[in-house]
Chains A and B, each alone.
Chain A
Amino acid sequence: DTGVSQDPRHKITKRGQNVTFRCDPISEHNRLYWYRQTLGQGPEFLTYFQNEAQLEKSRLLSDRFSAERPKGSFSTLEIQRTEQGDSAMYLCASSSSDGFTGELFFGEGSRLTVL
């Protein structure tokens, strides 16, 4: 068990470019979450998958954001036409489906800087 891994760890991009982040959850976990964390704030929920189905989306997830989990394993989060306000740490977490115990296993995050 190697834990939740995220790639890339850091991404610097220019405003208007598209970026994609990848998350590989713990292999036996069928729930996967994306959160966003900005400076001085706690993580904010973006979206949640159970297997390949995207079951919840936050109002924070504008039309420029899209998340997928095509085979119920890894997930990608794409941001189109990035804006400076998108600069943040994007966190991925996974959990098992034995009820919701609140124990999420987080990756180390992908830090996005939009210039």
Chain B
Amino acid sequence: AQSVTQLGSHVSVSEGALVLLRCNYSSSVPPYLFWYVQYPNQGLQLLLKYTSAATLVKGINGFEAEFKKSETSFHLTKPSAHMSDAAEYFCAVNPYGNNRLAFGKGNQVVVIP
């Protein structure tokens, strides 16, 4: 079954520092890959997605992710963390033609002033 792995459930980052969240997927075929974000007391919302077009994907709020097939990775980055980035971030995958998403365990990001 297709799945994603996110390491480190809690990630602390200083305000203004690089945010890096790692996601590795297991798949025998190039998948669709996604990052979702959940702000406190809100529903999950799509941050960005990879659908086999450009390997560097830009999302909302200054986030971007790079698809690397050789490393089966789709890491999420933001050059400079802001206090408003404190949230939980989920990597997700779905195979072609499938209507369900498989989510990773998530990373809780804490931004330190």
Residues on the A chain within 8 Å of B34, using CB: 102
Q: Which of A13-21, A41-49, A61-69, A73-81 contacts B (4 or more CB under 8 A)?
A: A41-49
Q: Which of B67-75, B76-84, B96-104 contacts A (4 or more CB under 8 A)?
A: B96-104
Number of A-B contacts (CB under 8 A): 63
Say what secondary structure dominates the interface of chain B.
loop
A31 close to B (CB within 8 Å): yes
Residues on the B chain within 8 Å of A4, using CB: 43
15 pairs, A vs B, C-beta closer than 8 Å: A4-B43, A42-B104, A42-B105, A43-B90, A43-B101, A44-B103, A48-B99, A48-B100, A55-B99, A56-B99, A101-B49, A102-B92, A104-B46, A106-B45, A107-B43
A100→B69 CA distance, assembly (Å): 22
- How many residues on A have C-beta within 8 angstroms of the other chain's C-beta atoms? 26
Taking CB as reference atom, which chain A residue is nearest B6?
A42
